[in-house]
Amino acid sequence: MKITDVITYPVSYELDTEFWMSREPYRTASAIIVQVRTDDGVVGTGIINGRPMTEIVNIVTMLRDVIMGMDALAHEAVWQKIFAITYTRAGAALDRDAGQPHFGAGKRPQILAALAGIDLALWDIKGKALKLPIWRLLGATSGTTYAYASGGYYEAGEPILKVAQEMASYVDMGYTAVKMKCAGVSLADDVKRVSEVRAAIGPETKLMLDANLGYSLDEATDALRAYEKFNIFWFEEPLYWYDSIRALGELARRTHVAIAGGESQLTAWEARDLVDLGGVNFMQFDATRAGGITELLRVAHYCHLRHVRITPHHDPEIHAHVVAAMVNGFGVETFPYKARDPLWDRLYSKKPIIKDSYLHLDSEPGFGFELDWQEVENHKLI
């Protein structure tokens, strides 16, 4: 079964509300859909979450020539061939006009994102060719995983305590774990938000806090001391980007609250360092951003050896297949707030069912979701 074509469909939705994480606004919900076609007529679909989207699309188009004619079931060989572009002279063909990568040119994160989309499409092909869902290919007994509700952004123009209603609405939907943002306002105001949320969701609901790289080590230490009385299930990506691994290890030694991270890591080697030096308890490596399922499996197996549970960032329709199969799979992140995530709400004509804090994949071959091609056409970026 040979690869005969690779096609991209970048889609983007403008949000009506401006949402904020600790440091960054969230004004559009976007993804790049990748299709890999084969001479057998089997078509695989992958999804990329990366930026800038036009650069990733250009790289996928370039990679089409690199992998054309390769065996579509040889995901490891395809992965190695593309990954080698990041460290060999093959990469010199990319970005010819921008000069040397060691002076700041080069597009390593975008290559890894492009690789993610192609790898995911190849796994979808493998499932479809063998007529099995990916969770079965990976050895799971069912396609059901734990699921938590992710939200609690700072909404421009809204009172900061509106978050309590939002998080309570997820509990009303049946969720037993909810996640909210922190580190976007003063610590005193964040403590008010967390306190109101805990009161609104009751004592039994798991509550996670995501700082999105928003604190120094000392600020994070103070913040944890203030938050921990609200029974925090995990504290996610607390530290500024520039010292987010070794200093995280120091923070982990200072607290009994579990630490989560991994969505910013681009390779299994980076994920390993986050475990070994950063002391994370929950690994959130994102297969749609970097390296696909092939890399996520390496991360998941390593995490198992180090007693770390996996709960990948975003895209549960992809990640649940791996979480369901891994002995250390914890759960998946889901986004019930339609205004914040129109992709989940509108992009699929068929997607997993989420009920009572569990996500259920069915037995369709491959990933098992189907895109609404009219939505793709209506929101196509390029």
**Chain contacts with Mg ion (rule: CB under 5 A):** 210
The strand pairing partners of 259, in sequence order, are: 235
Q: What angle do CA 26, 30, 35 make, to 5 degrees?
A: 160
Shortest distance (Å) from residue 237 CB to Mg ion: 6
Q: How far is it, in rounded angstroms, from Cα 234 to Cα 163?
A: 18
Shortest distance (Å) from residue 44 CB to Mg ion: 27
Q: CB nearer to Mg ion: give 46 or 214.
A: 214
Q: CB nearer to Mg ion: give 127 or 316.
A: 316
Shortest distance (Å) from residue 264 CB to Mg ion: 9
| 219 φ/ψ angles, rounded to the nearest 5 degrees | -65, -40
Q: How many CA atoms lie within 13 A of 293 on its CB side?
A: 31
Q: What angle do CA 144, 147, 149 make, to 5 degrees?
A: 155
Q: CB nearer to Mg ion: give 152 or 292.
A: 152
Shortest distance (Å) from residue 259 CB to Mg ion: 12
Q: How far is it, in rounded angstroms, from Cα 168 to Cα 35?
A: 38
Shortest distance (Å) from residue 213 CB to Mg ion: 9
Q: CB nearer to Mg ion: give 210 or 295.
A: 210
- Find out whether 185 and 160 touch, Cβ atoms under 8 Å: yes
Q: What angle do CA 126, 131, 137 make, to 5 degrees?
A: 55
The strand pairing partners of 350, in sequence order, are: 370
- Look up residue 379 and give its amino acid: H
Listed residue (231, 154, 240) closest to 193, CA to CA: 154
Q: CB nearer to Mg ion: give 155 or 286.
A: 286
Q: CB nearer to Mg ion: give 133 or 152.
A: 152
Shortest distance (Å) from residue 335 CB to Mg ion: 12
Shortest distance (Å) from residue 382 CB to Mg ion: 27
- 3-state secondary structure (DSSP) of residue 281: coil
Give me the DSSP letters along 131-165.
T-BHHHHTT-S-SEEEEEEE--PEETTS-TTHHHH
Taking CB positions, which residue lies at the least distance from Mg ion? 210
Q: CB nearer to Mg ion: give 190 or 210.
A: 210
